Amino acid sequence: MWGFFMCAIIGFIAITSKEKPVIRIYLDISVYNRPFDDQTQPRIRLETLAFAAILQRVETKMLTLLSSSIIKLENQNNPFPSRQQWVNYCLKHATYCQSVNESIKERAQQLSQLSIQGMDAFHLACAETMKCDYFLTVDDRLIKRYKGSLQVKNPVELILLLETNSDDR
């Protein structure tokens, strides 16, 4: 009789403890700085709200934030100390920071030949290396130009996607 109950308990634990894999995201510097843009513009306000919702999900471990030395470099070059502090605060939630290596430099070079220039190419190469599920940006041209292994989305798109998927459960 105890064997039956033990099997039932173990089966219940196995069913209820199946956690969905956490979604791995990479945000480019434009997303981190969105709260400092003109919030009277509806699109910018929506993207800022989506970013806040994303940060909330990162803090509650529903999303995994990944970063890179490129983000840190761009942030160090920001002439506004308050923005630097904000980005540094956000980056404390990143579980991993990818350093640039030779393969990332090579991939960034390949991306630059596909009309993705400068830091954007390095951000994407880092995110690809870390096998992120989503790369988030507010740069429409980057979203349209990138053709690779990542899903490149606007923060609003990601929140809508996550909400739609949670409704399906």
Q: What is the pLDDT of residues 137-162, one digit of tens each?
A: 999 999 999 999 999 999 999 999 99
Residue 68 lies in a domain: yes
Residue 11 lies in a domain: no
Residue 119 lies in a domain: yes
Mean pLDDT of the chain: 89
Cα separation values, 101 from 45, 71, 104, 125, Å = 36, 15, 5, 10
Residues 6+ apart with CB under 8 A from 80: 36
Residue 38 lies in a domain: yes
- In the chain, the N- to C-terminal Cα span, in Å, equals 35
Residue 12 lies in a domain: no
Domain hosting residue 44, numbered range? 24-167
What's the predicted TM-score (pTM) here?
0.85
- Residue 60 CA neighbour count, 13 Å, CB half: 7
Residue 112 lies in a domain: yes
Q: What is the CATH number of the domain that holds 92?
A: 3.40.50.1010
Q: Yes or no: say if 34 and 48 are a contact pair by the CB < 8 Å rule.
A: yes
What's the number of domains the chain is made of?
1
- Residue 93 CA neighbour count, 13 Å, CB half: 21
